[in-house]
Amino acid sequence: MKTAGALIAVTAAAIALASGTAAGGAAAPEDMALVPAGPPAAFFVPGGSGVPAAGADRGASADVPAFLIDRRPVTRRQFAEFLRRRPEWSRSRVAAVLADAHYLEDWASDFDAGARVPPDAPVTRVSWFAANAYCQWRGKELPTVDQWERAAAGDGKDTAATRDRILRWYSQPATEPLGVVGRGAPNAYGVYDLHGLIWEWTLDFNSTLISTDSRDPGGKDDPLFCGSGSLGAVDPSDYATFMRYALRNSLRASYTTSRLGFRCAAEPDRP
């Protein structure tokens, strides 16, 4: 097990080195991992199948440029620091249009996360607006769906066993208090907790299922998504990815839930 871990670390270092060169020698800060440029993790079959194809007309050439991504989700401790610096985001002051009524409701008070959950557990019960503001405050941005999925796909060795593990997690009722970040093994890029702890906001979560129907004068844009769409997915057995797309599609930017947190991303040249 130790050997496997070391091997992963070496692989990650090799990838980081190789892509570091490609990205103009940019070095990643310690708390961020560099994900090299590459194709987005394909999910929908491009074109022609009548499927709402998120990436249909981008073609194979539209690689995701290299990017940095936080190795760990943003923690309650980190978010408390943000709130002290930006008190307008504290739960008693935040505008209703920017966060729903359950925003940070599991905190002891405006700036105190409380002791029930460890301070290094991921912050949840945050809206997209709050997550977005946090990342901007850090000089970063939320990762796009393409970036997040690319980071989560690791180096492409997403085995059936991994998927089973992810699905087992998805199927567990979320009753236990959240554990601390960075406990499990990192993936090939050195990123922790992409699966198994929380769901995460993405910058453009509202973009995934736009179909060309929106250009059809008679078309409404709401019924974009249904179970039969899975027939057109690249891999119909990839339920885990499907569930992530479905979840994102169900969100509004002011929503908060007990299992939805975030991490930030950045361009390699301005970490």
Partner 1 sequence: MTRMTLVLAMALAVLPGAARAKDEPPHSHGDHRSLDVDRPAPLSGSSIYQSGSEWTDMDGTRVRLRSLRGRPVALAMVYTHCTTACPLILANLQLIESTLSPQARERVWFVLASFDTERDRPAVLKKFAAAHELEPARWRLFHGGRAAVRELAMTLGVRYKQKADGDFDHSNVITILDRDGVVRHQQVGLGAAPTEPAALLERLAR
What does the binding site for partner 1 look like in residue numbers (CB under 8 A)? 54, 57-59, 61-62, 85-86, 88-89, 95-98, 128-129, 132-133, 136-137, 203-204, 206-212, 214-222, 252-253
Q: What's the Cα-to-Cα distance from 259 to each of 20, 115, 172, rounded to whole Å?
A: 33, 18, 12
Calculate Rg over the CA atoms of the chain: 19
Q: For partner 1, give the closer residue by CB, 145 or 198.
A: 145
| Residue 61: CB minimum distance to partner 1, A | 8
| Residue 240: CB minimum distance to partner 1, A | 22
Q: For partner 1, give the closer residue by CB, 2 or 85.
A: 85
Q: Is the dihedral of CA 20, 147, 197, 44 positive or negative?
A: negative
CA count, 13 A, side-chain hemisphere, 59 = 2
Amino acid 165 reads: R
Backbone dihedral angles phi then psi of residue 149, each to the nearest 5 degrees:
-65, -35
| Residue 53: CB minimum distance to partner 1, A | 10
Cβ atoms < 10 Å from Cβ of 214: 10
Q: What's the Cα-to-Cα distance from 184 to each of 89, 120, 157, rounded to whole Å?
A: 31, 14, 17
Q: For partner 1, give the closer residue by CB, 22 or 210.
A: 210
Q: For partner 1, give the closer residue by CB, 10 or 95.
A: 95
For residues 140 and 133, give the distance between their C-alpha atoms in angstroms, rounded to a whole number. 9
Take residue 220 and report the two structure tokens written for it: 């409404």
| Residue 17: CB minimum distance to partner 1, A | 30
| Residue 184: CB minimum distance to partner 1, A | 31
Backbone dihedral angles phi then psi of residue 5, each to the nearest 5 degrees:
-60, -45
- The three state secondary structure string of 12-46 is HHHHHHHHHHHCCCCCCCCCEEEECCECCCCCECC
Cα maximum dimension of the chain: 59
Q: For partner 1, give the closer residue by CB, 39 or 119.
A: 39
| Residue 68: CB minimum distance to partner 1, A | 18
Instruction: Check if the beta carbon of residue 102 is closer than 8 Å to that of residue 252.
Output: no
| Residue 146: CB minimum distance to partner 1, A | 10
Q: For partner 1, give the closer residue by CB, 189 or 199.
A: 199
Could you tell me which of 185, 159, 151, 162 has the C-alpha nearest to residue 16? Answer: 151
Q: For partner 1, give the closer residue by CB, 128 or 189.
A: 128
